[in-house]
Amino acid sequence: RVRSSAASDVYKRQKFVKRPKWICVLQRVVIMDYKVLDMEKYYRKDIYRHFTMDCKCSVMITSKIDVSDLVAYSKQTGTKFYINFLYVLTKALNTRDDYKMRYLYQEDKLIVFDKINTAHYVFHEDTETFTVVYTEFSEDYQAFYDRCCADMEKAKQTRSYGLDGSKLNYFDASYIPWLSYEALHVELPDGHLHFPPIINWGKYHSENERLMMPVTVRMNHAVADGYVVSKAFLLLEKEIERFVEN
């Protein structure tokens, strides 16, 4: 299987076990491409054991990123900044296996998806509630943009939350447009081995003649540490740079 060139060389030393490409969830069969991680070859094996058995916790970092060029691009092209940011964010997270992991409780397996997609939200002003929007990722920007627009329009027609437990290869991406914050904490039970990233971002604001936007990345400490979480920001900034240049 072809692997991303952006992944660390350490992944080349890992051994993966081929598995059937299906997962049973709530008596439904959902087709997803993934590989089972051989824990004896996992580069974080000892760390994983410690943070899943001895010290169950998460790690979260909030940092400001410069979105000046992405905002300018969105205005120049008449496209939505929100969708453009979702695109570069999802593309960045798909470049490294650490962000594509999930624990299968029934099989007691740690798996890595070939691709992760975006679970984001539509806010309803009249009810002050949200509906989950599931948008499948495509590296084809126009295909992703059109799909995301259609998914959001469909979500606007309902007022249900719309959570789908079968969507295992999706990460949570939530926009907080009402304020530009300094810190954010997302609390999950320590024993809940939720490995996909949880990403939040707030309203961008002017700072030293640049547009800065707070972004928060939350991950389970078993599969991520300060380096892995920080790397998500660096990859995101690099994808923004590539996106506006093209």
pLDDT tens digits, one per residue of 11-57: 333 444 444 455 544 444 455 799 999 999 999 999 999 999 999 99
The DSSP symbol for 208 reads T
Burial 199-212 (b: 16+ CB within 10 A, else e): bbbbebeeeeeebb
Q: Would you say 101 and 154 are in contact if contact means Cβ atoms under 8 Å apart?
A: no
Determine the average pLDDT of the residues in 48-73: 96
For the ranges 2-11, 182-191, 211-220, the lowest mean pLDDT is seen at: 2-11
Provide the mean pLDDT of the chain.
Answer: 89
The answer to whether the predicted template modeling score (pTM) of the entire model surpasses 0.75 is yes
Query: Residue 99 pLDDT more than 50?
Result: yes
Burial environment of residue 30 by CB neighbours within 10 A (0 to 12, 13 to 18, 19 or more): middle
Q: pLDDT: is 12 or 182 the higher one? A: 182
> 3-state class of 119 per DSSP?
strand
Instruction: Check residue 189 and give its pLDDT.
Output: 77
